[in-house]
Amino acid sequence: MALAIAGGIYIAAHLPQRPGLGPAIGLLAGSVVLLAGAVGTIARLRAFAWGRFRQVAGWALAAYVVIAGMLGYVFVDDGARGSLLVLIVLTLLVFAVDVPLLLGFSVARHQTPGPAAGG
């Protein structure tokens, strides 16, 4: 999450001029790799409160999709276009998935484990 936020801050700090995309792409790539690792690690848990995880992560995802959408609108309104806008949207997507994942895990790990991931 920190890498995605750092990439967003880097981009926002350079607007309205066009920022160099290299650092932002590197931060986005790092955040995607770490997010994939977190998803993979959580997916392998067997004794875990999956029902509570889905409940918390689902509602948090709904909230963060709205937040990411509002932030995306701000960037579009501020003049972001083309590859810069794609980079911003991808960064916001990582942000909108990572936070609910963290919230869902943080709550579910303290609950009584339920059935495995399939049920």
Q: Residue 117 falls within a domain, yes or no?
A: no
Q: Residue 113 falls within a domain, yes or no?
A: no
Q: Residue 115 falls within a domain, yes or no?
A: no
* Predicted confidence (pLDDT) per residue in 26-48, tens digit: 999 999 999 999 999 999 988 88
Crossing angle (nearest 10°) for helices 82-108 and 50-77: 160
Q: How many domains does the chain have?
A: 1
Q: Residue 119 falls within a domain, yes or no?
A: no
Q: Residue 104 falls within a domain, yes or no?
A: yes
Q: Residue 114 falls within a domain, yes or no?
A: no
Q: Residue 76 falls within a domain, yes or no?
A: yes
Those residues with Cβ within 8 angstroms of residue 21's Cβ, 6 or more apart along the chain or in another chain: 83, 84, 87
Chain centre to alpha carbon of residue 34:
11
* Predicted confidence (pLDDT) per residue in 61-92, tens digit: 999 999 999 988 988 887 778 888 898 899 99
Q: Residue 31 falls within a domain, yes or no?
A: yes
Crossing angle (nearest 10°) for helices 82-108 and 21-43: 30
Residue range(s) defining the domain that contains residue 39: 2-108
pTM score of the predicted model: 0.80
